């Protein structure tokens, strides 16, 4: 359920002329929405750190401006860590921080967060699914 919500958010934010999200799309998502806002600097940092290695960066440099779904997931996790840096909640695990971030993100899109803690049957994806 949560993964499907994330896929939905990813697709809803793709501009009509693209097939994947761009750097500007994800930075805007987290800097323009009051409920989930982080600084431009933090959003750009998280974006850069979420990018996978581009083997032939001279030929494929345009890939630096696009973010695949799996990178989008990494971006959200990095936002969760960054958002709580220096706060009294900094001690929480990444998983606990992620719950807060996902609930706030889902609220922006009127989606419901499903608590799957302790659910061994939770939907998972392997790298082969990307």
What's the pLDDT tens digit per position in 42-98?
A: 999 999 999 888 887 777 777 788 899 999 999 999 999 999 999 999 999 999 999
For residues 98 and 77, the answer to whether their CB atoms sit within 8 Å is: yes
Q: The pTM is what?
A: 0.82
* pLDDT per residue as tens digits for the range 109-126: 999 999 987 554 445 555
SS3 59: coil
Place of tokens 């996790």: 77
CA-to-CA distance for 114 and 99, rounded, in angstroms?
A: 10
Q: Does the pLDDT of residue 129 top 60, yes or no?
A: no
Tell me which residue of 47, 40, 33, 53 sits closest to 78, measured CA to CA: 47
pLDDT-derived band at 128 (thresholds 50, 70, 90) equals low
């Amino acid at each position: 359920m949560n993964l499907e919500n994330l896929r939905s958010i990813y697709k809803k934010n793709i501009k009509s002329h693209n097939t994947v999200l761009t750097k500007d799309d994800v930075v805007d998502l987290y800097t323009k929405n009051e409920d989930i806002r982080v600084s431009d600097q933090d959003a750009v940092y998280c974006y850069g750190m979420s990018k996978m290695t581009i083997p032939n960066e001279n030929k494929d440099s345009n890939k630096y401006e696009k973010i695949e779904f799996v990178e989008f997931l990494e971006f959200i996790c990095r936002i969760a860590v960054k958002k709580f840096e220096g706060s009294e909640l900094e001690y929480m695990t990444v998983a606990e921080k992620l719950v807060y971030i996902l609930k706030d993100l889902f609220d922006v899109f009127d989606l419901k967060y499903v608590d799957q803690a302790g659910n061994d049957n939770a939907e998972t994806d392997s790298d082969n699914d990307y």
